[in-house]
């Protein structure tokens, strides 16, 4: 039994990033993927990794969304989200993490934070004011979004099914191993949320078995700035990401960002 335990623990440690990141590398063009009004840009992260950004500008006076996806697939899989934001007049920037879609490299926590910085720097270089950029994170992307909003000036932070840390999620999923000691990419959002002074919106389903609602509540409670939380009864993790929450995000941005 001891040998089996050690072998299973070692396997989890060695292959943990395959459990955290599920990238697709199909990399269709925006037109092939059903996106409209997109220009594609190649950005260079601080370590030299080339990453892809899809962008469409905002209508006059509207905010721009910088979106960080969940762990699976690629940005090309999300045309309905893009269309919802665009229909509201918002500017939209979808970042393809390193190792996802047409971006180079392999995903790690440190690497994704560098990619996020490069995306924000690019938007600022286009003349978009920081206070009109809303950072949106979906599931895994909430850790990227929270760290970016804690470290940099932005206009708002929106978190969809956020976790306190991936270490906490791993500890729930694998209670028989010391997951918090073994995880390489902990994404400790709860440690960073106290530095987020911008308006915060947390969206979470009450039937989420992957990331408990209590984690989203804990992030909301620890944030110092203006904040809202919207809980959706009976909604699970994957079912959360759809038109209902996108409409909530649009409402929130119209109420909190300058026009």
Q: How far apart are CA 253 and CA 136, in angstroms?
A: 11
The answer to whether 139 is a known catalytic residue is yes
The answer to whether 113 is a known catalytic residue is no
User: Taking the model in full, what pTM does it have?
Assistant: 0.95
The answer to whether 165 is a known catalytic residue is no
DSSP string, 77-112: G-HHHHHHHHHTT-EEEEEE-TTSTT--S---HHHH
Q: Where are the domains of the chain?
A: 53-256
Q: What is the side-by-side order of every strand in the sheet holding 39-44?
A: 39-44, 50-56, 91-96, 64-68, 133-138, 156-160, 200-205, 227-232
Catalytic residue among 115, 185, 208, 220: 208
Catalytic residue among 139, 168, 189, 204: 139
Residues 95 and 115 sit within 8 Å (Cβ to Cβ): yes
Q: 19-47, pLDDT tens digit by residue?
A: 789 999 999 999 999 998 999 999 999 99
Q: How far apart are CA 238 and CA 9, in angstroms?
A: 28
Going from the C-alpha of 215 to that of each of 72, 134, 237, the distances in angstroms are 21, 21, 13
Q: 141-166, pLDDT tens digit by residue?
A: 999 999 999 999 999 999 999 999 99
Residues 65 and 93 sit within 8 Å (Cβ to Cβ): yes
- For the domain spanning 53-256, the CATH number is 3.40.50.1820
Residue 171: the pLDDT is: 87
Catalytic residue among 41, 77, 151, 237: 237
Confidence of residue 90 (pLDDT cuts 50, 70, 90): very high
């Amino acid at each position: 039994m001891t040998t089996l335990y050690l072998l299973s623990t070692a396997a989890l440690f060695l292959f943990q990033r395959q459990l955290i990141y599920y990238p697709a590398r199909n990399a269709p063009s925006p037109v092939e993927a059903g996106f409209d009004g997109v220009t594609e840009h190649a950005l260079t992260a601080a370590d030299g990794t080339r990453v892809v950004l899809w962008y469409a500008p905002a209508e006059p006076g509207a905010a721009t969304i910088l979106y960080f996806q969940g762990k699976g697939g690629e940005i090309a899989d999300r045309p309905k989200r893009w269309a919802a934001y665009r229909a509201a007049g918002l500017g939209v920037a979808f970042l393809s993490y390193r190792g996802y879609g047409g971006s180079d490299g392999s995903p790690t926590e440190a690497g994704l934070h560098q990619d996020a910085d490069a995306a924000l720097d690019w938007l600022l270089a286009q003349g978009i004011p920081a206070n009109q950029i809303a950072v949106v994170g979906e599931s895994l992307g909430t850790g990227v979004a929270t760290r970016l909003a804690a470290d940099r000036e932005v206009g708002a932070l929106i978190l969809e099914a956020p976790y306190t840390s991936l270490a906490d999620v791993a500890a729930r999923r694998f209670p028989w191993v010391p997951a918090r000691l073994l995880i390489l990419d902990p994404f400790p959002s709860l440690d960073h949320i106290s530095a987020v002074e911008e308006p915060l919106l947390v969206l979470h389903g009450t039937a989420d078995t992957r990331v408990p609602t209590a984690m989203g509540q804990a992030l909301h409670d620890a944030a110092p700035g203006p904040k809202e939380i919207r809980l959706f009864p009976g909604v699970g993790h994957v079912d959360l990401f759809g038109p209902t929450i996108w409409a909530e995000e649009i409402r929130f941005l119209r109420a909190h960002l300058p026009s």
